[in-house]
Amino acid sequence: MLSDSLKKTVRHAHQNIANQLEDYRPRSSQNYLVAEIAKTLAGEYHKSQRICVIEAGTGTGKSLAYCLGALPLALAKKKKLVISTATVALQEQLIEKELPFFKEHSGIDFKFDLVKGRQRYICVQKLMAAVNEDETQISLVPTTTSPLTDMEQKCLRELAHAYQNKQWAGDRDSWEDTIPDKVWNLIACDKHACQRQMKSHHLCPFHLARQKIQQMDVLVINHALLLADLELGGGTILPEPEETFYVVDEAHHLPHITRDFSSAAATIKGTIEWLEKLLKFSGRMASAIVSQKAIGQNFKLNDAANDVSKLLKSVRDSLDQSDFKYNDDDTYRFIHGEVPESLTTQAKDIADATLDALRALNKMHDALTTDVSDGDVQAFLADPFLVESGQYINRLEQLNKLWFSYAAKGESTPHARWIKRMEYKHHHDHLLCDCPIEVGFYLKDKLWRECAGAVLCSATLTALGSFDHFSKESGLASEPGVKFIKADSPFDYDKQAILHIPKTKVEPTDKTFSDFLADALPTYLDKNKANLVLFASYWQMSHVVTALRKKKLSILVQGEMSREALLNRHKAAIDLGAGSILFGTQSLSEGLDLPGKYLENLVVTKIPFAVPTSPVEEAQAEFIQSKGGNPFLSITVPDAAKKLVQSCGRLLRKETDSGRITILDRRLITKRYGKAMLETLPPFARQID
């Protein structure tokens, strides 16, 4: 239960913030969110399952709401508050604006920091080794095949100089210029080589950053780092889940990111080649180890790696002789994810042999680490071996994950499995892939049932007016005590915007629809204002752009320059009093913030249906059909409905904004599913021809 003192703290903080904001207007929806978040995390709805799912549109002030609702409680209960986002833009907004403002004006004292993955930091030992002996260092990294260019070497020296002179903190994001991937891969921190117990790594930027975590009250992370911690059992990178309140912002991305995180892939020929390099490397590494514990591990590693190679060659021969019918994209998907018996048997043997190799290499790696800690081997001699063995350990882990899944039988979780044939000039290869179709169980077991509490929020979590689709995807369906909340927007939609659905001569499914768009679009554009036109495909956008430019229409097109440059050009034209026409695809319909005069006319060319062309999407549809469901109504329509809401959400960003939305897709009127989609859009004033 919320104590009176906590309620008082929240009220005072809210009032303090209100006093500092210009044109502040009390919002009943925001007050409601603050109260519901606080009650949920205090256990008023369920003693153990303290989770709420919130859909709150633009202008609701959800970041302020979750700070007010969650932070005072976290501090009182001595819990950490972890805020996870999907995009860098929101992280920057929280770290640079929202949290500093909240700390300065709320009257609540707390410490906060951005937590990044290990790979965003340099390893000082690797940086210095690369600068001093770059040719040697490069030859030891299996992923690097050519020397650094003069420009790359210059960059390396500049990084080292800046770090040594305390002009740079050692993380990739704070370096003003772009660091080439080839340079970064040489010097990036990794979990196997850069270990805190080794004296030479005590002061590495990553370990210094991790020490700060314990002193922080609020940690801002991304979804990938959250999943990386859960994969390690929770509490390894971040605080223990049971000691943490999580705010998952941009929560609609979480299921898809979890799915990608749980996937595995590996080639056949490419794997055989790096296994041969591993055999040569392990002998060199064994000669550097002093510890008696590693005696015999090199022989075990060699035996296991040779077994894996032989088995993979057998799989390669089987695939070359198979009668799999590959599609136009050179991909063959296993129906229902079921792998043939012959391949399942081979997969089990490969998984077992890979695990043996992994165990042996891990023991060698640990032994060399101990030798360095004990002073028996000098760090500068051991580091290159630890770096390279760490890369092989990562590859063996991925390989084991893939083949273990291919060997699985009678699994409760459906998987998509497929093979992509890869043709090169002088050889060919096979890429084998595995991806779970449903990941809700993973989030349920690893996060929802372990954490002290969680708040999931986004502007688009419902589909067709229901949370059902998201709750199933995220593992929250039928979980006891989960509170689902939809917060009203402060916008006066029917006074601020008009939604126009004109009559059209051509259906979006017609082959001539692209030509129709090229003819009709100029009618719906206002050359004196800021226009955004959203397309469902790059091809269709390109076709229309070509036709309109022949008519001398000036258009800014997504993909022709960076997103930042595109938006700067657009805003500059509006600032000069000229109009601007911006063309983009679905990726511009999310996270794009063009308030006020920067967007007054929005055109959506068609309902953004996704075509299930990827093996994962095909497998999802197949799984739903096998259960007697309709994939179009279960997946395609809800996803398109959410995307349409996101698209229309670009127009109104503030309570003073106004404008017009035109949707050139009559299926919103003529189809039953279209009418359901139309009803989920905000209540704009409607003009339906």
The candidate with the shortest Cα–Cα distance to 200, out of 258, 126, 89, is 126
Q: Which residues contact 632 (CB under 8 A, 6 or more apart)?
A: none
The pair of structure tokens assigned to 493 is 């939609």
Q: Give per-residue burial for 182-214: e unless 16+ CB within 10 Å, then b.
A: bbbbbbbbbebbbbeebebbeebbbbebeeeee
SS3 of 32, please?
helix
SS3 of 532, please?
strand
Q: Which residues contact 629 (CB under 8 A, 6 or more apart)?
A: none
SS3 of 360, please?
helix
SS3 of 628, please?
coil
Helix (H) or strand (E) run with residue 415 in it: strand 415-423
The pair of structure tokens assigned to 397 is 């882990």
Q: Judging by beta carbons within 10 Å of its beta carbon (0-12, 13-18, 19+), is residue 575 exposed, middle or buried? A: exposed
SS3 track for 156-219: HHHHHHHHHCCCCCCEHHHCCCCCCHHHHHHHECCCCCCCCCCHHHCCCHHHHHHHHHCCCCEE
Q: How far apart are CA 62 and CA 45, in angstroms?
A: 21
204 is in an annotated binding site: yes
Q: How far apart are CA 184 and CA 171, in angstroms?
A: 10
Q: Give per-residue burial for 399-415: e unless 16+ CB within 10 Å, then b.
A: bbbbbbbbbbeeeeebb
Q: How far apart are CA 285 and CA 301, in angstroms?
A: 12
**The Cα angle at residue 412 between residues 406 and 414, in degrees rounded to 5:** 60
CA 610 vs CA 168, 338, 459, 536, 683: distances in Å: 44, 25, 20, 8, 25
Question: If phi over 0 gives left and psi between -120 and 50 gives alpha, with beta otherwise, what is residue 492?
Answer: beta
Backbone angles phi, psi at 221, to 5 degrees: -135, 180
194 is in an annotated binding site: yes
SS3 of 676, please?
helix
Half-sphere exposure of residue 490: CA atoms within 13 angstroms, side-chain side: 19
457 is in an annotated binding site: no
The pair of structure tokens assigned to 97 is 């604006």
**The Cα angle at residue 125 between residues 124 and 131, in degrees rounded to 5:** 85
Q: How far apart are CA 333 and CA 331, in angstroms?
A: 7
The pair of structure tokens assigned to 499 is 């939604």
Q: Please, are residues 135 and 147 in contact by the beta-carbon 8 Å criterion? A: yes
Which residue numbers belong to the known binding site for [4Fe-4S] cluster?
Answer: 123, 194, 204
Which residue numbers belong to the known binding site?
Answer: 123, 194, 204
